[in-house]
């Protein structure tokens, strides 16, 4: 028991270290569940519970500074107690939801507290002491994993025995009810996703995804693949605009007038002073962008931390370093997935500044601040709105069957494109800078990309009620043993119609501005009561 | 029709493009900002962040008033974005249709205090806020549409 609770604390520490590891979704229940399973000698149960929790928290996204319930602490503890008590996914759910809401409050508290260090950061910047600044960024970043690890440890030490005897006392009818209720909850996750992606124009893709999954029983990966093909065909057709083809940034040899932008981005005539190695360092350091997130200056120290390798090369004097550090301690917040592009551009501008005495230093921050919002808009929707949805759809559909490929594919599908693009963008930002953006704007590439992504995402979401939710009715027509099961009739007309109807119903309520907490409780109650009176099973 | 008036000093970014626009069903993002309306670099970047299916207008405050009063804008579902309480107060004074203002994000600066997770206001803002409240305008803080509404009157 001591060893396993030690391992569980380690898993929470690991999950919360994601802020140092590039927001790579390592902390999702789909990934941490199996780890908890390993720690408690029930790997396959861990995979299934992780997938179940992933479904419920699917619409739970982190965008901007909006902090969702802490699925790390809640998910890990819920999974652990469920495995220890042998009660299965329903109990994991019942525990994970309240724990994650409580844990979120602790984390919000930490984000309010962290600005206390800002004075220290500014002092170090004033001294030009980048080493101390780096160290404080890391130390403050470690507060979150350590704090949450400590809370998990206490919860396990103080609560495990009591929790186990409490869970043992739960009668089996309550457990069955919870299970049915748990099966209904994904409808909320799907509806929240729909709320982000659905509109009348895109509706056919949602239903196409549903039909492919419900009648043709296609796996989610296949539906995602079909979506990709449809998106490619459709967006290609809309490309035929007068500016001509050219998604590829380097293919057309287009050289726009650089002076026109007002923002003097990295200009043309220069040999880059920063080596490829330095730029690579910017990428690696960008992975820790969110480590010291706080509610006053957001990712500012993360940005400073990431740009330091470039500053070290460019500003040998204490004075120059100090000015640069102070510049980069200004408020900053963007999507971590596109952050490297801004880092690259900033590095190029810092380089110009270090050479040219007349360079307008303020322009560095105005470009940074100008880019951070819009790029966050682009990258958050691509990565959270599409790629994460597809990866989670594929991953959970496999993991629900206890297949370890589920979590593995989930991480690969998300992170191969993520890390490849993030790496490449560091160099694009440094070498091409704002010229790259102008080209993007000219070719309409962004529009194509986002609308293509929306098609794939919505098809996958459409497949979800059919593949990932199992709510059935146990009603029969006529007296019981001889009666005709209603579910059988439904299956012949529209398979998975109950999950679909539930999802659309919840979506309707979200549109009517009903609070998500009420919807959550409503679904739980409907499932629980429905199971008691034998409507749902 | 104005679906939402939002104060957000990052104007168009993740929360706006990717949660508010679809949740409101907005088909026109209207950025009302004197600086952005003259800055071609900002215009370029906002153009990239524009969600598909919505048009983007970047106008100065006075142009915004004219645009909103124009018949032609009546059929649009507009998400109106400003950077400051001051700009929001100005617009609400000119455009009676603005009955409610969403406080999305205002970063902290010298002399401001945090009243909710992402909103920091100065004493000058408080004066404007009180005037707006006295004028019967609803003021609420939410970062994303699924957040619970926090009324500004209870926060200051």
More confident of the two residues A370 and A403: A403
With bands split at pLDDT 50, 70 and 90, how would you rate the model's confidence at A66? low
Phi-psi label, residue A137: left if phi above 0, alpha if psi -120 to 50, beta otherwise: alpha
Query: Which residues of chain A neighbour B146 with C-beta distances below 8 Å?
Result: 192, 195, 510, 516
- List Cα–Cα distances, A433 to A13, A274, A345, A351, in angstroms: 37, 15, 5, 13
Average pLDDT taken over every residue of chain A: 88
Give the tens place of pLDDT for each residue, B85-122: 999 999 999 999 999 999 999 998 888 999 998 999 99
pLDDT in tens, A327-362: 999 999 999 999 999 999 999 999 999 999 899 998
> Which of B17, B45, B114 lies closest to A370 in CB terms?
B45
Instruction: Spell out which residues of chain A touch residue B48, defining contact as CB-CB under 8 Å.
Output: 374-375, 378, 437, 440-441, 446
Stronger pLDDT, A380 or A463, i.e. the higher one: A463
The ipTM estimated for the assembled molecules is: 0.83
Render pLDDT for B29-58 as a digit per residue (tens, 0 to 9). 999 999 999 998 889 889 888 887 889 999
Q: What gap in Å lies between CA A454 and CA A467, rounded to an integer? A: 20
**A247 pLDDT more than 50:** no
Any catalytic annotation for residue B13? yes
Which of B18, B40, B103, B114 to probe by mutation at the A interface, max A CB count within 10 Å? B18
Count of C-beta atoms within a 10 Å radius of residue A357? 6
User: In this complex, do B53 and A434 lie within 8 Å of one another by their Cβ atoms?
Assistant: no
Helix (H) / strand (E) element for B58: namely strand B55-59
* Half-sphere CA count of B54, side-chain side, radius 13 A: 30
Q: Do residues A17 and A141 make contact, with C-beta atoms less than 8 angstroms apart?
A: no
Closest Cα partner for A397 from A53, A51, A58, A93? A51
Residue A244: per-residue pLDDT: 38
pLDDT at residue A253, rounded to an integer: 36
Count CB neighbours of A436 within 10 A.
19
Q: Choose, out of B41, B83, B150, the residue to mutate when testing the contact with A (most A CBs < 10 Å).
A: B41
Query: What pLDDT score does A441 carry?
Result: 82
d(CA A333, CA A138): 18
Q: Which tens digit of pLDDT belongs to each residue from A143-194?
A: 999 999 999 999 998 888 888 888 888 888 888 898 898 899 899 989 988 9
Contacts of A512 (CB under 8 A, 6+ apart): none
Q: What pLDDT is attached to residue A422? A: 97
Q: Does A231 touch chain B (CB under 8 A)?
A: no
pTM for this model (two decimals): 0.89
Whether A261 has its CB under 8 Å from any CB of chain B: the answer is yes
Q: Which residue has the tokens 């009603």?
A: A475
Nearest to A523 by CA among A196, A190, A182: A182
CA–CA dist A122, A84 (Å, integer): 48
Higher model confidence: residue A517 or residue B57? B57
Residues of B in contact with A62 (CB under 8 A): none
Q: What share of chain A has pLDDT > 70, as a percent? A: 91
Q: Which pLDDT band holds residue A207 (cuts at 50, 70, 90)?
A: very high
**According to the model, what pLDDT value does residue A33 have?**
97
Beta carbons within 10 angstroms of residue B44's beta carbon: 22
Mean pLDDT of chain B: 93
Task: Say which residue the tokens 């303020």 belong to.
Answer: A362
- Tell me the two tokens of residue B51: 């969600």
Tell me which chain A residues have a C-beta less than 8 angstroms from the C-beta of B108: 115, 296-297, 331
pLDDT digits (tens, 9 = 90+) for A273-292: 899 999 999 999 999 999 99
Position A64 scores a pLDDT of 53
Q: Which stretch of DSSP H or E encloses residue B28?
A: strand B28-32
What is the model's pLDDT at position B115?
A: 94
How many C-beta atoms surround the C-beta of residue A245 within 10 A?
12
């Amino acid at each position: 028991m001591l060893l396993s609770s030690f391992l569980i604390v380690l898993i929470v520490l690991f999950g919360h270290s994601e802020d140092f590891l590039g927001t790579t979704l390592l902390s999702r229940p789909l990934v941490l569940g199996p780890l908890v399973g390993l720690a408690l000698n029930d790997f396959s149960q861990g995979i299934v519970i992780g997938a179940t929790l992933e479904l419920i928290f699917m619409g739970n996204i982190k965008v901007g500074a909006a902090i969702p319930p802490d699925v790390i602490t809640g998910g890990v503890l819920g999974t652990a107690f469920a495995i220890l008590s042998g009660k299965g996914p329903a109990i994991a759910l019942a525990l994970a939801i309240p724990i994650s809401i409580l844990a979120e409050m602790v984390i919000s508290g930490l984000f309010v507290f962290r600005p206390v260090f800002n004075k220290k950061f500014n002092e170090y910047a004033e001294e030009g002491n980048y080493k101390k600044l780096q160290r404080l960024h890391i130390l403050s970043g470690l507060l979150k994993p350590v704090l949450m690890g400590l809370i998990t440890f206490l919860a396990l030490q103080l609560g495990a025995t009591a929790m186990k005897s409490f869970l043992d006392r739960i009668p089996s009818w309550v457990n069955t009810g919870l299970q049915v209720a748990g099966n209904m909850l994904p409808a909320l996750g799907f509806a929240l996703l729909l709320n982000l992606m659905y509109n009348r124009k895109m509706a056919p893709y949602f239903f196409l995804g549903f039909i492919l999954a419900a009648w043709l029983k296609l796996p989610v990966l296949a539906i995602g693949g079909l979506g990709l093909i449809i998106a490619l065909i459709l967006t290609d057709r809309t490309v035929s605009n007068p500016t001509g083809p050219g998604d590829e940034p380097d293919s057309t040899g287009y050289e726009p007038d650089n002076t026109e932008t007002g923002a003097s981005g990295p200009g043309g005539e220069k040999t880059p002073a920063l080596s490829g190695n330095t730029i690579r360092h910017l990428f690696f350091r960008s992975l820790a962008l969110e480590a010291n997130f706080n509610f006053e200056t957001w990712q500012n120290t993360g940005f400073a931390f990431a740009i330091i390798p470039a500053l070290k090369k460019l500003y040998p004097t204490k004075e120059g370093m100090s000015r640069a550090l102070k510049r980069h301690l200004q408020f900053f917040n963007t999507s971590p997935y596109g952050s490297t592009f801004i880092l690259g551009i900033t590095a190029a501008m810092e380089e110009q500044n270090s050479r040219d005495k007349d360079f307008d230093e303020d322009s560095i921050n105005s470009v940074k601040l100008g880019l951070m919002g819009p790029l966050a808009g682009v990258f958050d929707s691509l990565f959270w709105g599409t790629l994460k949805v597809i990866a989670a759809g594929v991953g959970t559909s496999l993991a629900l069957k206890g297949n370890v490929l589920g979590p593995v594919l989930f991480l690969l599908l998300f992170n191969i494109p993520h890390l490849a693009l993030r790496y490449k963008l560091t160099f694009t930002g440094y070498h091409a800078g704002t010229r790259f953006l102008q080209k993007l704007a000219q070719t309409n590439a962004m529009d194509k990309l986002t609308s293509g992504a929306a098609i794939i995402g919505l098809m996958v979401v459409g497949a979800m009620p059919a593949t990932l939710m199992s709510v059935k009715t146990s009603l029969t027509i006529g007296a019981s043993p001889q009666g005709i099961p209603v579910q059988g009739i439904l299956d012949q007309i529209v398979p998975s119609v109950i999950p679909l109807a539930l999802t659309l119903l919840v979506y309707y309520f979200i549109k009517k501005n009903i609070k998500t907490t009420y919807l959550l409780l409503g679904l739980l109650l409907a499932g629980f009561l429905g199971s008691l009176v034998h409507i749902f099973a | 029709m104005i679906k939402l008036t939002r104060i957000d000093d990052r104007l168009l970014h993740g929360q706006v493009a990717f949660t508010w626009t679809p949740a409101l069903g907005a088909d026109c993002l209207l950025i009302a900002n004197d600086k952005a309306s003259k800055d071609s670099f900002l215009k370029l970047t906002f153009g990239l962040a524009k969600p598909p299916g919505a048009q983007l207008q970047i106008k100065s405050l006075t142009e915004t008033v004219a645009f909103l009063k124009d018949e032609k804008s009546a059929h649009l579902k507009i998400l109106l974005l400003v950077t400051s309480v001051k700009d929001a107060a100005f617009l609400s004074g000119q455009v009676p249709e603005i009955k409610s203002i969403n406080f999305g994000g205002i970063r902290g600066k010298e002399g401001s205090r945090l009243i909710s997770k992402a909103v920091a206001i100065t004493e000058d803002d408080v004066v404007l806020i009180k005037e707006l409240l006295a004028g019967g305008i609803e003021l609420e803080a939410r970062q994303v549409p699924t957040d619970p509404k926090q009324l500004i009157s209870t926060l200051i």
